[in-house]
Chains A and B, each alone.
Chain A
C-alpha cells in the first residue's frame, strides 16, 4: 500500500474513529534498562561476597547478637540517645525562640551559640567536656557574707556518661535550634497577628498557635536528627562510655573477631533506625502532613500495611 492510499483510508474513516484508535508508543528508555542490568549484576556480586566469604563468620555474629555486654551497650546507647535528644530539643527550642526574639542581644547570643556548637566537631566537644577538670578543677557557689554554700570537684560529677550527655546535647541543640527556627519561620505571620488581635499574649501565641503549627515542619528533620544522633553516640567510645560500639570493641579486642562483632553492632543500629523511622512516620502523620507528592517508597509500604482507615482525616 502506498503512502497515498493510506492517506485516503484515513480520510474515509471518521475523525472520532481516528481519535479512538490512536496508539501511544512509549519512549524507549535504554538508559533505564542498562542501569537496571548493571545494578542487578552488582547485587549478585555483593550478595555472593557476603554469602561465600568465610571471613564474615556469620555464626559467630549470631552467637554474639544477644550477648549480655552487647545488650548492656545497646541499653546505654538508647539511653544516651533519648536523654540527649530530650535535652537538645528543649534547649534548641529555647535558642530558637531567642533567635526570633526582638532583642538584638538574645538574637545575637543564639546566633553565636548555633555558630559555635555546629561548627566545632562533636568529637572534640566530647573530649573537651570530658577533660573539663583541666580547665576548672572545682565548681562552687560562694555568696557574699555567707561563704561557700556549694562545692563539688569537677572530676566527681563529670563522669564519662555525664560528659557525653552534656557535650552531645549542647552540640545537638545547635542543630535543633536551626530546625525549630525554620519551623517557626514557616508559619505565616498572619497566624500570630490574628491571635494578637484576639487578645492573646505573646507566650500564649507561641505555645498555642506558632509552635504547634511549626511542628509539622519540625518533625521530619528532627527524625533525621534523632537517627543521626543515635549513630553519633558511638563517638562516646572515645571517652570510655560502654555504649554498643564500645562493648563490641572490648569483646573483639580480646577475641579478634572484629568483623563478626561489627556486623552485630551494625545490625543493632539498623534495627533501631528502622524502628525510629516507623515512629517518625506516625509522628509526621499526627502533625498532619498531607502532602503526598513527596511520598517515598517507605511511606507507600507503611501505608499498605497500616491500611486506609485514618486516611480521610490525614489528607484532605
Chain B
C-alpha cells in the first residue's frame, strides 16, 4: 500500500477491511440531482447487491465508482485511492488522464449490453487491454486469457466473434475480459437484464464462482434470489439515496422501511 493510500485511509477513517468506501456521494446532471448523498462500505472480498426501482441512481452510483461519471460532491475511495483525483491538503487535484486510466483499470466493469468489441475475436477482446494498457507481452496475455476462458467455460470460443455467441456466452466473455486486468473489484451493471431467461443461470453461475473465489463485487441487479443467496450486503436505493442496507436475508424477509417493503413486494 502506498503512503497516499495510508494517509487517505487514516484521514477519512476508512475501516481496515474496506475496499470501496463512499461518503456523501452526490451527482447532478444539469439541474437534476441523481445522487443525493450516498454512503456505502464494501469490505474486501465481499459481495454487495444494489436493488431499487429504475431511476433510483443505482447505475449512476456504480459508474461513479470507476469515474465513468465525475462526482458532484462527496468522496469515493477504492482501496484507499481516489479514482480520478489526488488529495493535496484540502484540495482534490484532478489527475492526468493516464493516471485515471491506470486506477480505473483496477476496477472491472460489466454492462447490461455486454459491450464486447464487435470487430475483435474473443481472444483479441481479452488481450486488448492487458497488452495495450498493462504492456503485458502478447504470449503471456494469451496464456492468461486461455485460463480465464476455461474458468468461464468457453475454452472453445477463443477464435469466435462476439456476434457468433449467445448473450450468456457474451456476458461470460465480458467477465473474463474484465478479469484479464486482474482487478481489485468488479462492478456489475444489471449483468443479466438483457438476457433470455434460460441464459441468466449460466452468467449467475460464473458470478457465484467469482464470489466464492473472494472477488470483491458490487452488483446492481433485479435478481433478488441471487442477491439473497450470494450477497453479503444488500442495499436498497430509491430517489438518489440509500433507503436501507443490511444482511440480504434479513432485509428480504423483514424489511424495515416501508419503501423497501413496497419495492420487494412488487418484485418478489
Nearest residue in A to B97 (C-beta to C-beta)? A201
With A213-B118, A213-B119 already in contact, the answer to whether A198 and B105 are too (CB < 8 A) is yes
B113–A197 contact, CB under 8 A?
Answer: no
Residue A193 is within 8 A (CB to CB) of chain B in the complex: yes
Residue A288 is within 8 A (CB to CB) of chain B in the complex: yes
Nearest residue in A to B187 (C-beta to C-beta)? A197
As a 0/1 sequence over residues 29 to 57 of chain A, the CB contacts with chain B under 8 angstroms (1 = contact) are 00000000000000000000000000000
A316–B164 contact, CB under 8 A?
Answer: yes
A209–B117 contact, CB under 8 A?
Answer: yes
With A190-B111, A191-B115 already in contact, the answer to whether A199 and B128 are too (CB < 8 A) is no
A191–B129 contact, CB under 8 A?
Answer: no
Residue numbers in B under 8 Å from A138 (CB-CB):
none
Alpha-carbon distance A288/B161, docked complex (angstroms): 11
Q: Which A residues, 204 to 235, have Cβ-Cβ distances below 8 Å to chain B?
A: 204, 208-209, 212-213, 216
Nearest residue in B to A287 (C-beta to C-beta)? B119
Residue numbers in A under 8 Å from B117 (CB-CB):
191, 194-195, 209, 213
Residue A196 is within 8 A (CB to CB) of chain B in the complex: yes
Residue numbers in A under 8 Å from B106 (CB-CB):
199
Report which of A193, A204, A316 forms a contact with B115, defined as CB distance below 8 A. Answer: A193
Residue A283 is within 8 A (CB to CB) of chain B in the complex: no
Q: Which B residues, 18 to 56, have Cβ-Cβ distances below 8 Å to chain A?
A: none
B128–A193 contact, CB under 8 A?
Answer: no
Cβ distance B84 to chain A, nearest Cβ, rounded Å = 12
Nearest residue in A to B116 (C-beta to C-beta)? A194
Alpha-carbon distance A201/B178, docked complex (angstroms): 16
Cβ distance A260 to chain B, nearest Cβ, rounded Å = 49
A316–B128 contact, CB under 8 A?
Answer: no
Alpha-carbon distance A209/B129, docked complex (angstroms): 11
B97–A199 contact, CB under 8 A?
Answer: no
Report which of A191, A195, A196 forms a contact with B118, defined as CB distance below 8 A. Answer: A191
Nearest residue in A to B181 (C-beta to C-beta)? A198
Residue B163 is within 8 A (CB to CB) of chain A in the complex: yes
Cβ distance B96 to chain A, nearest Cβ, rounded Å = 10
Residue B133 is within 8 A (CB to CB) of chain A in the complex: yes
Cβ distance A73 to chain B, nearest Cβ, rounded Å = 40
Residue B104 is within 8 A (CB to CB) of chain A in the complex: yes
Alpha-carbon distance A288/B245, docked complex (angstroms): 48
Residue B172 is within 8 A (CB to CB) of chain A in the complex: no
Q: Which B residues, 155 to 199, have Cβ-Cβ distances below 8 Å to chain A?
A: 161, 163-164, 174, 177-178, 181
Interface residues in A, total, Cβ within 8 A: 21
Residue numbers in A under 8 Å from B101 (CB-CB):
199-201
By size class, the interface of chain B is: 20 to 34
Alpha-carbon distance A200/B115, docked complex (angstroms): 14
Report which of A196, A202, A212 forms a contact with B119, defined as CB distance below 8 A. Answer: A212
Nearest residue in A to B174 (C-beta to C-beta)? A194
Nearest residue in B to A207 (C-beta to C-beta)? B132
Residue B92 is within 8 A (CB to CB) of chain A in the complex: no
Cβ distance B98 to chain A, nearest Cβ, rounded Å = 6
Nearest residue in B to A214 (C-beta to C-beta)? B119
Residue numbers in B under 8 Å from A191 (CB-CB):
115, 117-118
Residue numbers in B under 8 Å from A199 (CB-CB):
101-102, 104-106, 129, 133, 181
A201–B164 contact, CB under 8 A?
Answer: no
A194–B164 contact, CB under 8 A?
Answer: no
Residue B152 is within 8 A (CB to CB) of chain A in the complex: no
Alpha-carbon distance A288/B102, docked complex (angstroms): 32
B97–A197 contact, CB under 8 A?
Answer: no
B66–A197 contact, CB under 8 A?
Answer: yes
A197–B118 contact, CB under 8 A?
Answer: no
Alpha-carbon distance A227/B108, docked complex (angstroms): 46
Report which of B113, B178, B181 forms a contact with A190, defined as CB distance below 8 A. Answer: B113
Residue numbers in A under 8 Å from B104 (CB-CB):
196-197, 199
A198–B129 contact, CB under 8 A?
Answer: yes
Residue numbers in A under 8 Å from B164 (CB-CB):
316
Cβ distance A77 to chain B, nearest Cβ, rounded Å = 34
B115–A194 contact, CB under 8 A?
Answer: yes
Alpha-carbon distance A212/B113, docked complex (angstroms): 20
Residue numbers in B under 8 Å from A288 (CB-CB):
119
B177–A198 contact, CB under 8 A?
Answer: yes
Residue numbers in A under 8 Å from B132 (CB-CB):
200, 204, 208
Residue numbers in B under 8 Å from A209 (CB-CB):
117
Report which of B102, B119, B163 forms a contact with A316, defined as CB distance below 8 A. Answer: B163
Nearest residue in B to A212 (C-beta to C-beta)? B119
B128–A208 contact, CB under 8 A?
Answer: yes
Residue numbers in B under 8 Å from A193 (CB-CB):
68, 111, 115
Known: A195-B117, A198-B178. 16 other contacts (CB 8 A): A190-B115, A191-B115, A193-B111, A194-B117, A198-B105, A198-B129, A199-B106, A200-B101, A200-B128, A200-B133, A201-B97, A201-B98, A204-B132, A204-B133, A213-B119, A288-B119
Interface residues of A (CB under 8 A from B): 188, 190-191, 193-202, 204, 208-209, 212-213, 216, 288, 316
30 A-B pairs with CB atoms under 8 Å apart are: A190-B113, A191-B117, A193-B111, A194-B111, A194-B115, A194-B116, A194-B117, A195-B129, A196-B68, A197-B66, A197-B68, A197-B104, A197-B109, A198-B108, A198-B133, A198-B178, A199-B102, A199-B105, A199-B106, A199-B129, A199-B181, A201-B98, A204-B133, A208-B128, A208-B132, A209-B117, A212-B119, A213-B118, A216-B119, A288-B119
